[in-house]
Structure 1
């Protein structure tokens, strides 16, 4: 049974990969609709011939890696179960540690390490592609440093979840999923609260914005939006990327307005103000809280689904998966596999919600700055520096795009700009 499961899983993965290779490289058509040709949204108006070709190549490669990376993760967790690695990791933990918490820590370390090693080649290829296309400027040692930070941050967070989850499973076999969800509420809020001041600084250096005149303009916008901000933070990203970005992060007193230094170097002041007005909209309209609420709703149903499915899978294929009981922490790779599958499945839904919020943020930025032209040039520069697809294929948009496409954003702003000019005349 284990061999059969493994064989058909690999076969399915190969068929899936071939489908997306065919879809992205041969079938999908990203050509601009006729009615948008020659408009501000037409990439031919702000990208040269070489940049257009590079954008097409880079987008196809990154999209393909996205679509195969998550199913590859499922395959890895499945093979960890089928080949008895999870059982072996547990034995290593029991042989190496006297206390149960130490045993579980060792088990989880080996599990995470194997998953990391198995996915490392694809991660490195992604880094190499970004470097080759001059999106990333990060050296390999710097990239590896971030990878190791990722590994340990994820390990610590996962260890807390792992310990609590299996403690609940052993305490209540029927309601552990509900208790786990209830505990996830304060845990999610806690992580969101500490991220700007504890987690983010592990990766980058945050300082006060050096351009004080620009900071005054941004804070004036914040005041107009009733955002209690006293500082704007600048993060040194030019050592890692040529891409542009800005964001508002955190909740409560730990909220931060952040600009990448690449953004301050590449964009004019009016363009930066448009970007910041867009980001402020997320704060004003409480999109962060809505995002947390949506994730908690989805996790409620997700945990219940995992609870039901775990019992079915263990009763039917427990021998092949080397799992005797659901509450045995040897089953953790199966939980990770199911969580990953559910997250992938709900991507289209969460992206729809996110695109709606981003559209509202664009509208808010126009209202606050009265400068849709700044938005147009900003998005053109974002597309240029990131080699972004202006009009991505349907499945790419559905599964990858948390923002409206550049075609949609620029064309809407162009309409607003024309209306504004007509009203002025």
Structure 2
């Protein structure tokens, strides 16, 4: 009888998951708590307050945006911009492009006080901004210039399809948006990002070699790693694998190199490589295009009804009139506010997938956990389930730390309990 019990016990032990084998000396929950507890007191309160304040910014930002469009419509500025564009343009198809110039500038100026508060003063209040006001304003001006050019090209394409297909323009408009998303992804690393930061090749060394080895191991076509000087703007850590059609590059900011250990850098870069390998860019383009398509469909149904009632008062002829674009924007602003949970869930899902990939690729669970804690300096670390669903476009800090500690228990032989400190250093 004892022999049979011994055989049964041995069989059970053989099929137990690795995490339970490790539980005797390593407890993933206790390890997670040890990391989470390093963010406490005033630092945690500041992080929670900053992130929770962002919930209200979503609502107020939408209200401010709709108000700006209403002002442009109600004062007939939109109609005046169109009239000017028609006088200047020698061809009809150029009218929307010219209309975009005063429209973007005036709309930006209307919301400028809100932009200054949310983009500068609030960031400075929470010690998340390194730029002076003049430097920040210069970057805003550069962004405005890019916005004018991009909007001119976009409106020219959008109103061309509206004129050609007045009833089904929202379908072709979705295609236009998809095209602009793809073009933006392709040109941003080479032409746009360098307008704000200097990109230089990463110095030769073991860390660079490790990043490129991970890239080669997973068939990511990169032969260099670039560092960009984002510390001039803020102290947040960041990295990306971006670009399309030969413009793809692996980049990380100087904050990650200066604030992160080699293990943390490897963990972050494993995550970013995961986005590329798992085709997340393509997935996001497709899904976001569908979301935009639904928004344009709703706009195509609502805009004619609103114009039938207010169009004459605003000086707008019909939906093919470029002066109607502020109305489109107002409708889409409300639509995207309502769609925030869906968009957040989409992005949060792919981020979680990249987290899992990065753990397998870099095999640095404690590096990943400590990076998650550094990100939690400005992201609420332990939200409720509904709160995370509604407002988080990345997994929460606790979720990420728990994932890394579970991975450690299941994949590391004889895992050691790490005692992290508030500065990100660790002791065994």
Quote the Cα distance in structure 2 between the aligned partners of 1:398 and 1:273: 28
Q: Hey, what does 2:108 align to over in structure 1?
A: 116
Instruction: State which of 154, 157, 161 in structure 2 corresponds to 1:168.
Output: 161
Q: CA deviation at 1:406?
A: 0.9
1:70 aligns with 2:70: no
Q: TM-score, normalization: structure 1? A: 0.83
State whether residues 104 and 147 of structure 2, in contact with CA within 8 Å, keep that contact through their aligned partners in structure 1: no
Q: CA deviation at 1:265?
A: 0.3
SS of 1:174's equivalent in the other structure is coil
Q: Deviations for 1:129-155, whole angstroms, at most 9, x for unmatched residues?
A: 212322111121221121111111111
Q: Deviations for 1:351-397, whole angstroms, at most 9, x for unmatched residues?
A: 2122111111111122122221211111112223xx32102366653
1:405 aligns with 2:396: yes
Q: Hey, what does 2:15 align to over in structure 1?
A: none
Structure 1, unmatched stretches of 5+, are: 1-35
Structure 2, unmatched stretches of 5+, are: 1-27, 417-428
Quote the Cα distance in structure 2 between the aligned partners of 1:102 and 1:234: 40
Quote the Cα distance in structure 2 between the aligned partners of 1:65 and 1:396: 15
Instruction: State which of 188, 191, 195 in structure 2 corresponds to 1:198.
Output: 191
Q: Deviations for 1:256-305, whole angstroms, at most 9, x for unmatched residues?
A: 11101001000100110011001111111100111111122223333222
State whether residues 224 and 250 of structure 2, in contact with CA within 8 Å, keep that contact through their aligned partners in structure 1: yes
Instruction: State which of 383, 388, 397 in structure 1 corresponds to 2:379.
Output: 388
Greater RCO, 1 or 2 (C-alpha within 8 Å, sep 6+): 2
1:264 aligns with 2:257: yes
State whether residues 41 and 406 of structure 1, in contact with CA within 8 Å, keep that contact through their aligned partners in structure 2: no
Q: Hey, what does 1:143 align to over in structure 2?
A: 136
Q: Hey, what does 1:57 align to over in structure 2?
A: 49
Q: Hey, what does 2:216 align to over in structure 1?
A: 223
Number of residues of Structure 1 aligned to a counterpart in Structure 2: 388
Q: Hey, what does 1:30 align to over in structure 2?
A: none
Quote the Cα distance in structure 2 between the aligned partners of 1:187 and 1:378: 33
Q: Deviations for 1:289-333, whole angstroms, at most 9, x for unmatched residues?
A: 111111222233332222222222222333444433221221111
Quote the Cα distance in structure 1 between the aligned partners of 2:338 and 2:310: 23
Quote the Cα distance in structure 2 between the aligned partners of 1:363 and 1:107: 47
Q: CA deviation at 1:242?
A: 0.8
Quote the Cα distance in structure 2 between the aligned partners of 1:37 and 1:283: 31
Q: Hey, what does 2:117 align to over in structure 1?
A: 125
Q: Hey, what does 2:25 align to over in structure 1?
A: none
Q: CA deviation at 1:103?
A: 5.6
State whether residues 42 and 407 of structure 1, in contact with CA within 8 Å, keep that contact through their aligned partners in structure 2: no
Quote the Cα distance in structure 1 between the aligned partners of 2:37 and 2:166: 61
Q: Hey, what does 2:238 align to over in structure 1?
A: 245
Report the more deviating stretch, 321-330 or 193-202: 321-330
SS of 1:117's equivalent in the other structure is helix
1:256–1:37 Cα change, 3 Å? same
Cα RMSD, aligned residues only:
2.6
Q: Hey, what does 2:203 align to over in structure 1?
A: 210
1:399–1:256 Cα change, 3 Å? farther
Quote the Cα distance in structure 2 between the aligned partners of 1:285 and 1:138: 35
Quote the Cα distance in structure 2 between the aligned partners of 1:366 and 1:177: 41
1:379 aligns with 2:365: no
Quote the Cα distance in structure 1 between the aligned partners of 2:93 and 2:220: 44
1:149–1:371 Cα change, 3 Å? same
1:96–1:44 Cα change, 3 Å? same
1:380–1:357 Cα change, 3 Å? same
Q: CA deviation at 1:401?
A: 1.8
